[in-house]
């Protein structure tokens, strides 16, 4: 079985890039997924943050473009994305003794973000309290980006998958790629699956398999990308209190990220699960720690009941906390190392990857993420 493009990984990146390759009429495309679409970081309950606020500045040009795409993506895909432009807030605390030093940093971030096309406002104490009644007295200010929001990761990934398939992309589920195959000239000729089948790639193999990328690249190129696997913790909570968290909300100095999904609170913020021989698991003390931070910032949330807690979705982190996007061999394109924030930029990055490959025109927006940055 031969295709022009062989994509490994059926998360948002695999499905969205397949969609764009097909949209550009680039040739035949197959997506090979070990499990099922959205089985990894791009699936699961709730929504993910579509956040520009306090993102690495090198990613802001991508976010500016993503903010343009998200509101109408459901029309383009003719499928659900669950996108809502809630606006996004970063809360700032600073004990009076420090003279609210956080504000100086926030002003600088606001200037830099605004200059890069992400208009950012600063809110004072009163404004924060009018937006978040009942918030802790320790919160002194906030930076606010009106274009931030949330979207359903699983629904969007499945909408990309359906749109790709309508354009002729083949999706092989339950099929693990165990090895990349080269021809005598050092090109990647195709992939070997766990079923023993070789699937040939006439033009390019795209490794969009998140935690599955590092080993496959190392084995075929000898390059060990500076990546590791993390298991971000996310939970949903119920409360009898009336909740005033109207926006995607992060915190400058506390590990907290919170949003509403319907009537439930969705909570994360950099806490991690633990890898065990039986698979990743939720660590009860860390779940408690995450909830305690939420209650410290929103003290009225006294009664919280955990509905779901999940740390099973593997993500990759890179040493400099920005993604790795580019070629690791002449026809081997890699994208991974999202470092916990790959979701928001996926609609734009996937389009740029497809355009880069088809038109042989590398986008300057992807240049900062090249794997070459790790070479002398
Ligand atoms: C709990 C959590 C919260 C997050 N919150 C946010 C957020 O608020 N905002 C944000 O921007 N980002 C967020 N992220 C990050 C974001 O979800 C990911 O960066 C993004 O979904 C990665 O997409 P992907 O397609 O690269 O990877 P994945 O969705 O993980 O897809 C990779 C796929 O490859 C498959 N695969 C792996 N190896 C092989 C193989 N050898 N053969 C075949 N298939 C293989 C896997 O089964 C998987 O389905 C969060 C992530 C997690 C886990």
Q: How confident is the model over 40-74, as pLDDT tens digits?
A: 999 999 999 999 999 999 999 999 999 999 999 99
Q: What is the pLDDT of residue 185?
A: 85
Alpha-carbon distance 187 to 27, whole Å?
19
Tell which atom from ligand 1 comes closest to the C-alpha of 212.
38
Alpha-carbon distance 55 to 63, whole Å?
9
Which of 41, 70, 191 maximizes ligand 1 atoms within 8 Å of its Cβ, making it the mutation to test the pocket?
41
Closest by CA position to 156, among listed 52, 62, 213, 83 = 83
- CB of 35 within 6 A of ligand 1: the answer is yes
Question: Strands 227-230 and 198-207: what pairing?
Answer: unpaired
Closest by CA position to 233, among listed 205, 204, 181, 275 = 275
CA of 101 to the centre of ligand 1 (A): 36
CA of 317 to the centre of ligand 1 (A): 11
Average pLDDT over the chain, rounded to whole?
95
Class at the top of the CATH hierarchy for domain 88-146+232-312 = alpha beta
Alpha-carbon distance 257 to 49, whole Å?
9
- CB of 6 within 6 A of ligand 1: the answer is no
Question: Strands 149-151 and 48-50: what pairing?
Answer: antiparallel
- CB of 153 within 6 A of ligand 1: the answer is yes
- The alpha carbon of residue 19 and the mean position of all alpha carbons in its chain are separated, in whole angstroms, by 18
Query: Per DSSP, what are the bridge partners of residue 182?
Result: 188
Q: What is the pLDDT of residue 98?
A: 52
Is-contact 92 139, C-beta < 8 A?
Answer: yes
CA of 211 to the centre of ligand 1 (A): 8
**Look-up of token digits 């997506």:** 31
| Tens of pLDDT, residues 252-289 | 999 999 999 999 999 999 999 999 999 999 999 999 99
- List the CATH code of the domain at 2-67+153-228+317-374: 3.50.50.60
- CB of 326 within 6 A of ligand 1: the answer is no
CA of 339 to the centre of ligand 1 (A): 10
Query: Per DSSP, what are the bridge partners of residue 8?
Result: 32, 207
Q: How large a percentage of the chain has pLDDT more than 90?
A: 95
Asked if residue 95 has pLDDT above 60, the reply is: no
Out of 100-114, 143-157, 304-318, 327-341, least confident range: 100-114
Q: What global pTM score does this model have?
A: 0.97
CA of 301 to the centre of ligand 1 (A): 31
Which protein residue's CA is at the shortest distance from atom 48 of ligand 1? Answer: 40
CA of 108 to the centre of ligand 1 (A): 32
Tell which atom from ligand 1 comes closest to the C-alpha of 345.
11
Alpha-carbon distance 346 to 66, whole Å?
8
Is-contact 201 30, C-beta < 8 A?
Answer: no
**Look-up of token digits 């916990």:** 340
CA of 11 to the centre of ligand 1 (A): 6
Q: What is the pLDDT of residue 97?
A: 46
Q: What is the pLDDT of residue 99?
A: 47
| Tens of pLDDT, residues 194-235 | 999 999 999 999 999 999 999 999 999 999 999 999 999 999
Q: Domain ranges for the chain, please list them.
A: 2-67+153-228+317-374, 88-146+232-312
pLDDT band at 105; cut points 50, 70, 90: confident
Contacts of residue 92, Cβ cutoff 8 Å, sequence gap at least 6: 100, 102, 103, 106, 139, 140, 141, 142, 143, 252, 253
Closest by CA position to 4, among listed 328, 353, 357 = 357
Asked if residue 18 has pLDDT above 80, the reply is: yes
Alpha-carbon distance 221 to 218, whole Å?
5
pLDDT band at 94; cut points 50, 70, 90: confident
Specify the DSSP class assigned to residue 371: G
CA of 240 to the centre of ligand 1 (A): 33
Closest by CA position to 262, among listed 150, 346, 343, 136 = 150
Report CA-CA distances (Å) from 35 to 16, 31, 38, 175, 246. Answer: 17, 12, 9, 7, 36
- CB of 42 within 6 A of ligand 1: the answer is yes
Which of 8, 11, 13, 270 maximizes ligand 1 atoms within 8 Å of its Cβ, making it the mutation to test the pocket?
11
Tell which atom from ligand 1 comes closest to the C-alpha of 314.
53
Q: 340 — alpha (psi -120 to 50), left (phi > 0) or beta? A: left
Asked if residue 96 has pLDDT above 60, the reply is: no
């Amino acid at each position: 079985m031969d295709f022009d493009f062989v994509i490994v990984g059926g998360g948002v990146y695999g499905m969205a890039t397949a969609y764009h390759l097909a949209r550009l009429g680039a040739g035949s495309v197959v997506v090979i997924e070990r499990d099922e679409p959205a089985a990894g970081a791009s699936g699961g309950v709730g929504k993910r943050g579509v956040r520009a606020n306090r993102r690495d500045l090198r990613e802001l040009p991508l976010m500016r473009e993503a903010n343009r795409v998200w509101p109408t993506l459901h029309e383009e895909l003719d499928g659900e994305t669950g996108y809502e432009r809630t606006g996004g807030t970063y809360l700032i605390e600073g004990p009076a003794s420090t003279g609210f030093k956080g504000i100086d940093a926030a002003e600088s971030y606001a200037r830099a973000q605004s200059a890069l096309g992400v208009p950012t406002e600063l809110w004072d104490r009163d404004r924060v309290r009018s937006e978040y009644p009942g918030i802790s007295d320790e919160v002194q200010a906030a930076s606010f980006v009106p274009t931030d929001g949330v979207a359903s990761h699983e629904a969007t990934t499945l909408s990309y998958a359906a749109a790709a398939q309508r354009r002729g992309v083949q999706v092989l589920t339950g099929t693990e790629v165990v090895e990349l195959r080269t021809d005598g000239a050092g090109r990647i000729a195709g992939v070997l699956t766990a079923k023993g089948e070789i699937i040939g790639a006439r033009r390019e193999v795209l490794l969009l398999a998140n935690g599955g990328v590092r080993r496959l690249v190392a084995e075929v190129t000898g390059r060990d990308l500076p990546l590791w696997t993390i298991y971000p913790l996310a939970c949903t909570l119920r409360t009898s209190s009336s909740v005033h968290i109207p926006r995607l909300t992060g915190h400058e100095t506390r590990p907290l990220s919170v949003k509403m999904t319907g009537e439930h609170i969705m909570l994360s913020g950099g806490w991690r699960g633990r890898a065990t021989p039986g698979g990743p698991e939720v660590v009860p003390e860390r779940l408690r720690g995450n909830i305690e931070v939420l209650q410290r910032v929103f003290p009225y949330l006294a009664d919280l009941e955990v509905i779901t807690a999940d740390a099973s979705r593997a993500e990759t982190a890179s040493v400099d906390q920005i993604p790795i996007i580019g070629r690791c061999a002449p026809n081997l394109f890699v994208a991974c190392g999202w470092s916990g924030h790959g979701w928001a930029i996926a609609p734009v990055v996937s389009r740029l990857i497809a355009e880069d490959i088809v038109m042989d025109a590398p986008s300057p927006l992807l240049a900062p993420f090249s794997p070459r940055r790790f070479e002398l």
